[in-house]
Chains A and B, each alone.
Chain A
Amino acid sequence: MSGHSPHEIKASVRRYLLVFGALIVGTAVTVGAYYIDIPSVAMTVALAMLIASVKAFLVAGYFMHLMSERKMIYGILGSTAFFFSVLMYLTVWAHGQAPPGTVYLGASIAAAQHAPAAHPPASH
């Protein structure tokens, strides 16, 4: 197989160490971002997921050699990723589509009893 001669392996080792460094930095940034107060929840989530995705890309791409893998594997993983996103997206969509008032949120009702102006039971 190509890419596995001693010389190339030595080149890969240097790359592995770089990736290792990047993963450490990524972890530090993720944790650091937690302590900085970002006002928007959406931004916080997006940033955390972005860093995690970059780290995942590095692990999968370099440690798992996906950067130079066969087409067959890409096909399998591509379809898996697609069906996973289908599962996630459609369930969340279905949840968001539930007609208003059909989702019972007991806790918020309890909260509303404590403070009358609090959240009405509504679906999201």
Chain B
Amino acid sequence: MEIPYVVQPRPDTGLYNAKLGIWLFLASEVMLFGALFSSYILLRIGAAPGAWPHGLLNIPIGTVNTLVLITSSITVVMAWASLKLNQFNRFKMFQGITLVCAMLFVCIKSYEYYDKFTHYEVIMTDGMVADGHLVEKSDTHITLKHVAVFHEGEGTAGDHHGEHREEMRIEAAQIRKMENYGPWHNTYLAIYFTLTALHALHVIGGAAVIAYLWGPGSRMWKTDPERFTNRIEISGLFWHFVDLVWIFLFPVLYLL
């Protein structure tokens, strides 16, 4: 028993099985991210006027991460082209760069998350808001750095309003409410964390497959080069899709 069209395309459809399979899977992924994207739009147009926060994320870091992902996309396609040209060593090199890019992307993303989790909004008993990064926390006081101070209800962290201080010490008794910029803080951060975390999971999953095909899985090049090239093409299609999602996420979450 052998399943046909595993390697060679079926004449009437022009596709081998896995290629059709990955495109079907990507179609469902379009609907998954599409639904979240629609949710983003609905939440945003449903937000109270002026309530949608801006400027909470670091744009240069986001730009660098975008470039990292674009670079990984070109190396993935170059790796596949190298196999087509029978240059296995170049394939190894390009796909190695892809993996480095993937790791770099996840590291940068983790740093951004860390940055948000240490970013606090402290509402004080006198109605002032201190917004900055937590340096130190004890039972009696907290210390924030790079702090913006403004009246409650007058702007948000990203607006660059208010008075700026390098460092600020706040006594525990002065604090009415203190919350970091995690997904629970507002709906924008909720959708930001959900979308980027789901995207990061896709990056990690895709990188795991690429790493397998780069390492132990590449033995198939010796036994069945055509099928191996197909596998690289399919993992590449998934990788490009992940890149494609980011192309939309970056302006939507960072810039608009």
Contact = CB atoms under 8 A, between A and B. Distances in A.
**Are these two chains actual partners, yes or no?**
yes
Interface of A: 1, 4, 6, 9-10, 12-13, 16-17, 19-20, 23-24, 27, 30-31, 33-34, 44-45, 48-49, 51-52, 55-56, 59-60, 63-64, 70, 72-73, 76-77, 80-81, 83-84, 87-88, 91-92, 95-96, 103, 105-108, 110-111, 114, 119, 124
Contact of A111 (B14, B50, B73, B77): B50
B51 A6 contact: no
Classify the interface of chain A: helix, strand, loop or mixed: helix
Interface of B is mostly: helix
Interface of B: 9, 13-15, 20, 23-24, 27, 30-31, 34-35, 37-38, 41-42, 45-51, 59, 63, 66-67, 70-71, 73-74, 76-78, 81, 84-85, 153, 236-237, 240-241, 243-244, 247-248, 250-252, 255-256
Nearest to A31: B63
Contacts of A84: 30-31, 34, 38
Contacts of B243: 59, 63
Contact of B78 (A13, A34, A88): A13
Contacts, number: 137
Given A63-B77, A80-B27, A111 B153 contact: yes
Contact of A70 (B13, B67, B70, B240): B13
A112 to B, nearest CB: 10
A107 B53 CA distance: 13
A63 to B, nearest CB: 5
A107 B81 contact: no
Given A1-B9, A52-B247, A108 B23 contact: no
